[in-house]
Structure 1
Amino acid sequence: MSLSGKTAIVTGSNSGIGLGIAHELARAGADVVLNSFTDRDEDHALAAELSQQHGVNVRYIRADMSSAEECRALIAQAGACDVLVNNAGIQHVAAVEAFPVEKWNAIIAINLSSAFHTTAAALPMMRKAGWGRIVNIASAHGLTASPYKSAYIAAKHGIVGLTKTVALETAEEAITCNAICPGYVLTPLVEAQIPDQMKAHDMDRDTVVREVMLARQPSKQFATVEQIGGTTVFLCSDAAAQITGTTISVDGGWTAL
């Protein structure tokens, strides 16, 4: 699959899953817009590194995904959007009655509302170009639930519903909208948690990964950012032209239980 000549915007992409997706899209030939809420020299250096590595144009545009105006401005500033990957997200864990209101509002804004705003801004560009791909990064928690994650789960279920609605509204056009639902993915953030989990449970690395961190993931293996990126590229391919309004689970069997 060649995405040469296409512009891909990936929200929340200066690390982790978003950065992995950006790498795979660039590898497929797309020009890429990286994004996060910071505006550091290292953010722009990261874009330059990807550009040199893959031989495509990679830019970094700062935008705060909790702001409707900045979400829409990101798309406008990019100037083109053939592929939109809504990946930005945050998490907080607490019981419903103790869940801080400001955390609920921030999670809903960043994990759900941002995808609405970027999609609304990108669709006219895709329609003008006569082609588009929207990939929303949901979660296994968009299909199932766990305690103490009410805002995150509500947002990810909302992303799945938004995906279906956008797919129906674009069904007669060469535009698709799908959601990827990862289970636990091995990102630098997750990797950094492993030593603390080993200490807390008095287990070696392999045991704490299998029995604690991946207790709900039947494969007992983390998904990788490259796998999420590869799934994204597939959804942009001609082979996926009739895949729209659905979810693809990359969760080691979690949601099969």
Structure 2
Amino acid sequence: MTSPGIPPVPGLHGRTALVTGAASGIGAACALRLAAAGARVRALDRDGDGLAEVAGRARGLPGAVEAEVLDLVDPDAAERAAAGADILVNNAGVQLVRPIEEFPPEAFHAMLTVMLEAPFRLIRGALPGMYARGWGRIVNVSSVHGLRASAFKSAYVTAKHGLEGLSKVTALEGAPHGVTSNCVSPGYVRTPLVEKQLADQAAAHGIPAERVLADVLLADSAVKRLVEPEEVAEAVAYLCGPHATSVTGTTMVLDGGWTAH
């Protein structure tokens, strides 16, 4: 039995998936999608209430979602948490929109810790078990900002560019052991992370908040709408499934044509 709107995907029964930033947005959609595919999903986030809500939504799916409260600012804890995962989805992210000369150095450091160092430590913790089992799937939720830059996002763009590189190195090292590593790089997605930056974007660009979506977020996209979290989750599920064994070291882009320019 599956929940309405979440069709089953074969191939992940008996697999353990770890999804970070799973209390909302893309992470929640990925956790539910992988549970629909039969995986036991360990959902990590610092938002315990959000995790509990996602776990409740997973009832009745072929797999399960188990909530684990964890703050990725502790890389040691992140590495320990990754042990035993067959599938790792590095999704957790934060955003701050400021000009470089006004960007707080402590915020820059914290954002790189969550979005680049923590994925490295999670991968480091997961790989020994994946290598021992001869199978593993690592999906790094990057962004169009891993491929293109935007003004006022120095930390986010830096972290996502680094994540793209880390993913490729992991693919090269993991290939002899049956482990794939890829990025999924969407444009702007309908998530709390995007909604929270509207006021900052308006201030940085000197425009009213109601103009941010059309004039800033979707200005470079040929498809003039936000990406839905479920679209990203479908890409993640494909990369973890049985038909993607030769897909590694690459980036699946869901940017509405942004990078076609």
Same fold (TM over 0.5): yes
- How much does 1:255 deviate? 1.2
In the TM superposition, residue 55 of structure 1 has moved relative to its aligned partner by 3.8
Structure 1 segments of 4+ aligned residues over 3 angstroms from their partners: 188-197, 200-203, 207-213
Matches within 5 A, 1:1-257: 1-38=10-47, 40=48, 42-43=49-50, 45-76=52-83, 80-190=84-194, 201=208, 209-257=213-261
Pairwise CA RMSD of aligned residues? 2.2
Q: Which stretches in structure 1 are left out of the alignment for 5+ residues?
A: none
Query: 1:131 deviation in Å?
Result: 0.7
Paired with 1:118 and 1:13, the residues of 2 have a C-alpha distance of 15
TM-score, structure 1 normalization: 0.89
2:75 and 2:62 map into 1 onto residues whose CA distance is 32
Residue 7 (structure 2) aligns with: none
Distance 2:46 2:51 in 1: 13
Q: Structure 1 counterpart of 2:224, which letter? A: K
Give secondary structure in 1 for the equivalent of 2:236. Answer: helix
CA deviations 1:42-88 (Å, max 9, x no partner) are 34532541441314232111211111111112224xxx211100001
- TM-superposed CA distance for 1:186, in Å, is 1.1
1:194-237: CA deviation from partner (whole Å, max 9, x where unpaired): 7997xx6486xxx8644443112111121111110000010012
| Alpha carbons 1:61, 1:74 under 8 Å: kept | no
Distance 1:237 1:187, change over 3 A: same
TM-score in terms of structure 2 length: 0.87
Q: In 1, Cα distance between the equivalents of 2:115 and 2:141? A: 9
Question: CA 1:178–1:44 in structure 2 vs 1: closer, same or farther (change >3 Å)?
Answer: closer
Identity %: 42
Count of matched residue positions in the alignment of Structure 1 and Structure 2: 247
Contact 2:139–2:183, Cα closer than 8 Å, also in 1: yes
State the distance in 2 between where 1:173 and 1:5 align.
Answer: 19
